[in-house]
């Protein structure tokens, strides 16, 4: 598959929207996470629309809400914006309380189409990989960075594995499941 100029435009938009954003613990540029999620999506068979959505999966939630949704729809079409919407657990600031927001999003994912589940699973896999790396550097202090603490964060990631299982490539779910299990054992 060849990626079109739409992909390049999405990459530029993602880099611009998230230019000042850093990863929570490592402090690395956030765009690295977006590229990693996109890479995972492509590795597991996603097409261009899914790859574009992977680059923009946090844009509505973290970078502007409804106006950003409209811009994504205008520039990349209804399929991409629907996938990004499916990855979004809140489009308002301040965000609603963490646990209820996550529970609602998980309920949505249990019925979500394959494209949404693919991008969400890729996002969760990259997040867990990063969290495992940072846990090895910081130990238990890692949990202070997360609203759910250790218990809530592990609950959420385990529940996310099960929520996307119905529509995600089996190899991706298995890898995500292994990484979450590894984290649960620490």
Considering the candidates 48, 50, 58, 62, report the single residue annotated as catalytic. 62
The residues facing 29 across adjacent strands are: 22
Place of tokens 């790859």: 51
Neighbour tally for 106: CB within 10 Å: 17
Among residues 80, 77, 105, which one has the least CA distance to residue 91?
Answer: 105
Distance between CA atoms of 186 and 179, rounded to whole angstroms? Answer: 11
Place of tokens 């964060």: 153
Considering the candidates 58, 61, 85, 89, report the single residue annotated as catalytic. 61
Neighbour tally for 132: CB within 10 Å: 15
Distance between CA atoms of 113 and 125, rounded to whole angstroms? Answer: 18
Q: Specify whether 126 is catalytic.
A: no
Q: Specify whether 61 is catalytic.
A: yes
Distance between CA atoms of 8 and 114, rounded to whole angstroms? Answer: 24
Distance between CA atoms of 149 and 154, rounded to whole angstroms? Answer: 8
What residues act catalytically? 61-62
């Amino acid at each position: 598959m060849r990626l079109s100029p739409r992909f390049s435009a999405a990459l530029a938009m993602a880099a611009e929207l998230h230019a000042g954003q850093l990863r929570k613990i490592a402090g690395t540029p956030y765009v690295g996470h977006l590229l990693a999620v996109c890479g995972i999506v492509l590795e597991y068979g996603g097409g261009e629309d899914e790859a574009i959505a992977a680059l923009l999966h946090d844009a509505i939630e973290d970078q502007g809400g409804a106006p950003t949704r409209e811009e994504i729809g205008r520039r990349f079409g209804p399929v991409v914006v629907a996938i990004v919407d499916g990855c979004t657990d809140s489009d308002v600031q301040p965000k609603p309380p963490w646990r209820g927001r996550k529970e609602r999003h998980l309920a949505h994912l249990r019925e979500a189409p394959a494209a949404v589940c693919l991008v969400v699973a890729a996002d969760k896999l990259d997040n867990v990989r990063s969290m495992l790396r940072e846990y090895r550097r910081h130990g238990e202090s890692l949990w202070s960075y997360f609203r759910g603490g250790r218990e809530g964060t592990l609950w959420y990631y385990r529940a996310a594995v099960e929520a996307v299982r119905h529509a995600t490539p089996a190899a991706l779910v298995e890898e995500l499941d292994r990484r979450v299990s590894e984290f649960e054992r620490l």
